[in-house]
Amino acid sequence: MSLEDLRGELPAYAKDLKLNLGSLANETVLDDQKKWGAYLASAHGAANPAVVKAIESEVADKLSEEAAEAARAAAAIMGMNNVYYRFTHLASNKDYRNLPAKLRMNIIGKPGVEKADFELWSLAVSAINGCGMCVDSHEAELKKAGVTTEQIQAAVRIASVVNAVSKVMQAEEGR
């Protein structure tokens, strides 16, 4: 299944998602690695099998294996970090913020791609998972690396559409 096939599977009520999925594939503010890595990380972050399959197929000839693995790793590590750091931020007891996480996060230091690309994909997944603390942290790193506001917005736009498509596909399974 390709991205085009996925668009064809969306019901009529999700027409805006179909249009956005297609237009974001033609996004030019991001280079191809950043763009397709954001698609892949977001698909894994949203975790709908049909969406993951379609986007994995779409990026197969667009990302190196190292970049694809790094995008998957961004989704995996954010699946853990977004829960942990959202908890430390939301808990009334602020002592949790001062405790060491004691969670392995080695991939963040050596992602196998440019640090900025990994940070961008991590930010996209953090937006899906709703961790404001992580979004702020990744955005600060991206700004230090010279990534523009428009590029960050593009990655989050991709994440928002991939997440919504994943929700629709999941809901359609129940109909």
Q: Which of the following is catalytic: 46, 59, 131, 158?
A: 131
**CB–CB of 36/88 below 8 Å?**
no
134 catalytic, yes or no?
Answer: yes
Q: What is 73-96 written as a DSSP string? A: HHHHHHHHHHHHHHHHHH-S-GGG
* Cα 137 to the center of its chain, rounded Å: 15
Sign of CA dihedral 63, 35, 112, 99: negative
In angstroms, how far apart are the furthest CA atoms of the chain? 49
131 catalytic, yes or no?
Answer: yes
Q: Which of the following is catalytic: 6, 55, 63, 134?
A: 134
**CB–CB of 4/87 below 8 Å?**
no
CA distances from 155 to 25, 107, 148, 170, 172 (A): 11, 20, 11, 22, 26
* 145 SS3 class: coil
What residues are annotated to the active site?
A: 131, 134
